[in-house]
Amino acid sequence: MNYLSHGHSVPTVSELNSASSTRFFWQAKACRVLDTVELRTATHAGGSTKHVVLDLKGTGLEYTTADNIAVCPENPKEMVDLLCRSQGYAR
């Protein structure tokens, strides 16, 4: 994809659609959380804001200022099975 800020052409609709965040889910990488800091606590009007430091070593990922991240947590199988049974879902 080319960006105007690099002196190139405007991205096409097709290029923009292919760059949607769901595309990157399938390229997810596991990494360790090194630190978290609460920047803004939850209020009645909205959620909280946290600063999260991730260890990207060995993931092939690079962070650029203002990048976004999607977090896909993993839950222990035993906990998922217990929740499913308690809600009446077969697993």
Amino acid at 48: S
Element (H, E) at 85: helix 77-86
pLDDT score of 37: 93
Nearest-angstrom CA–CA distance, 16 and 25: 16
Single out the residue of 50, 31, 55 nearest to residue 40, CA to CA: 50
Token code pair at residue 6: 């690099």
Of 12 and 35, the one with more pLDDT: 35
Question: How far is it between the farthest Cα atoms of the chain?
Answer: 57
Nearest-angstrom CA–CA distance, 67 and 56: 13
pLDDT tens, residue by residue, 21-72:
555 556 678 888 999 999 988 788 878 888 889 999 998 888 888 887 777 7
Is this model's pTM higher than 0.85 or not? no
Token code pair at residue 21: 């965040």
Token code pair at residue 91: 């697993």
pLDDT score of 47: 81
Of 54 and 1, the one with more pLDDT: 54
